[in-house]
Amino acid sequence: MDWIMITFLRKWSLFTFAFFIRVVLVVFGVYQDKTMVVKYTDIDYHVFTDASQFITEGASPYRRATYRYTPLLAWLLTPNIYLTPVFGKLLFVTCDVVSSYLTYGILRGRGMSCQAACSYCSLWLLNPLPMGVSSRGNAESLLAVLVLSMLSCMERRHLAKAAFFYGLSVHMKIYPVTYALPLALSLRTREQANVGETTVPMGRRLARFLLGLLNRDVLQFFVIAGGVFCGLTLLFYHMYGWEFLQETYLYHLTRRDIRHNFSPYFYMLYLTAESSWSLALGLAAFLPQLALLLLTSLAFHSDLALCCFLHTAIFVSFNKVCTSQYFLWYLCLLPLVLPRLMLSLKQGLGLLVLWFAGQAIWLAPAYYLEFEGQNTFVLIWIAGLLFLAINTFILVQIISHYKQEDIHHCQKLD
């Protein structure tokens, strides 16, 4: 067993092996698609490829129904048409490995040993979930690369680069927009801690706090990020018009899918879809999400990796629509959070089992509804609430066992 561990913890062998498995999965996918009834390739990959086909014909990618992404993605995947249909999958699995390499860089930058950094990266590199998702042709790994690049640049104080990656990531998928507040807070000018701090009136402290947000770093960051975001938006608006705004941004902001999904709100939104208080309920569902995001930003902005992780996990868990791909948005940040968690291996594994159990409990009635025609709506609703409770429990465990200073877990490897 020892030699296997030692080989894996050598950086290059681990990353090469992880890439190799993913390429094997891509090749297997081609084989399965050709020979079996159940296809390996995700439906979204066909959507991307069809949209790229329209691009190569000089048409709008939005002619493909359900293409709800930036045209950049369809542009990026035009080699699917010109070169080979698996180009996109190879790109996604490469991004998968690259994102882990960025994690490795961040962990090493914090002073962690090569072996320890590799062991944390292997949680992503050897994890069947991201492997499956990207080799089936989902583009989530592109976002992982952008978000981790942003965090990596922030840790090294390369603000302009970080801002560029941030602007691009918000353009690609709207969810990192919630990181704006913690980013601004982490860049603000900090007050000098005075002994008589507590005697300063609340109003003046608030004014000082707000003024602290108006410094050069914050302005530079948001001018660049905003420039990238607005530049791309204007460019694509000019090319594809209103349809682009509608499909890329507005659809995701106003999305209210009544079909079953992991969200705790799904059954309520389905039952009230046509009712007059549907809008009020939508707002009521939005408030916990908003309150927690604000509180997390204030509490954890000094540790951006943790803050982004909590932000994404809260955003996804309390969202009105939630599918399993969304889980990858925060899982890619987990290797940055884990080294500072004071949980034993047993506790960690326990939480992991709990998380998967929550999904399994939801998947069983969802399967019976979708493929067996049984009326399991109530069970799916209860399972959705249970999954939220499990996520809440895990988040509380993470928040309460997190220590800001670095703890090296090298001894775990021996």
Partner 1 sequence: MVTKVLLCAVFLVVEIFGDTKTDEDNCDLSGKWLESIKVTRDIWKMGFHRELVTTVECGPSSPEKLQTLLVQNLPRGVYIDPYQLASLQQDTGLQVVLDSEVDLEAPAYESNGLFMFVYPTRDLQHPRHLQAVVPIHGRYHRPSSGQGWEQLEIEPPRLFLRANGCAQLLPAPHVLMDAPCSGYNLSMCKWMEIQLPQDQRNISLELPVGNQSLLVPVCTGTLLATLLCCVIIANAIWRHGFL
Measured from the CB atom, the residue of 89 and 171 that comes closer to partner 1 is 89
Instruction: Enumerate residues 6+ apart whose C-beta is below 8 A from 225.
Output: 163, 164, 166, 167, 170
- Minimum distance of partner 1 from residue 155's CB (angstroms): 17
Measured from the CB atom, the residue of 78 and 278 that comes closer to partner 1 is 278
Residue 364 found at the interface with partner 1 (CB under 8 A): no
Per-residue contact string for residues 270-299; x = within reach of partner 1 by CB under 8 A: xxxxx------x--xx--x--xx--xx-xx
Residue 369 found at the interface with partner 1 (CB under 8 A): yes
CB atoms within 10 A of CB 319: 20
Measured from the CB atom, the residue of 60 and 100 that comes closer to partner 1 is 60
Q: Contact region for partner 1 (CB under 8 A) — 136-144, 300-308, 340-348, 349-357?
A: 300-308
Measured from the CB atom, the residue of 115 and 278 that comes closer to partner 1 is 278
How many residues bind to partner 1 according to rule CB under 8 A?
Answer: 54
Measured from the CB atom, the residue of 82 and 371 that comes closer to partner 1 is 371
Residue 86, SS3 per DSSP: coil
Instruction: Enumerate residues 6+ apart whose C-beta is below 8 A from 162.
Output: 149, 150, 151, 153, 154, 221
Q: Among 13, 215, 344, 400, which residue interacts with partner 1 (rule: CB under 8 A)?
A: 400
Two tokens, residue 105: 């860089």
Tokens 């066992």 correspond to 401
Instruction: Enumerate residues 6+ apart whose C-beta is below 8 A from 294.
Output: 181
Instruction: Enumerate residues 6+ apart whose C-beta is below 8 A from 161.
Output: 149, 153
Measured from the CB atom, the residue of 34 and 204 that comes closer to partner 1 is 34
Per-residue contact string for residues 235-274; x = within reach of partner 1 by CB under 8 A: ----------------------xxx----xx-xx-xxxxx
Q: Contact region for partner 1 (CB under 8 A) — 14-22, 98-106, 110-118, 375-383?
A: 375-383
Per-residue contact string for residues 42-81; x = within reach of partner 1 by CB under 8 A: ----xx--x--------------xx---------------
Q: Among 54, 300, 329, 330, which residue interacts with partner 1 (rule: CB under 8 A)?
A: 300
Please, which of residues 317-336 interact with partner 1 by CB under 8 A? Answer: 318
Residue 16 found at the interface with partner 1 (CB under 8 A): no
To 5 degrees, how large is the angle CA 25–CA 27–CA 33? 95
Q: Contact region for partner 1 (CB under 8 A) — 231-239, 321-329, 338-346, 383-391?
A: 383-391
185: part of which helix (H) or strand (E)?
Answer: helix 180-187
- The answer to whether residues 408 and 116 touch, using CB atoms and an 8 Å cutoff, is yes
d(CA 287, CA 250): 19
- The answer to whether residues 71 and 61 touch, using CB atoms and an 8 Å cutoff, is yes
Measured from the CB atom, the residue of 7 and 392 that comes closer to partner 1 is 392
- Minimum distance of partner 1 from residue 128's CB (angstroms): 25
- Minimum distance of partner 1 from residue 258's CB (angstroms): 6
- Minimum distance of partner 1 from residue 312's CB (angstroms): 14
Measured from the CB atom, the residue of 155 and 257 that comes closer to partner 1 is 257
Q: Which of 168, 288, 137, 294 is nearest to 235 (CA)?
A: 168
Measured from the CB atom, the residue of 7 and 347 that comes closer to partner 1 is 347
- The answer to whether residues 137 and 39 touch, using CB atoms and an 8 Å cutoff, is no
CB atoms within 10 A of CB 249: 17
d(CA 126, CA 119): 10
Residue 169, SS3 per DSSP: helix
d(CA 14, CA 172): 29
DSSP 83: T
Chain residues binding partner 1 by CB under 8 A are 46-47, 50, 65-66, 257-259, 264-265, 267-268, 270-274, 281, 284-285, 288, 291-292, 295-296, 298-300, 302-303, 314, 318, 369-378, 381, 385, 388-389, 391-392, 395-396, 399-400, 402, 404
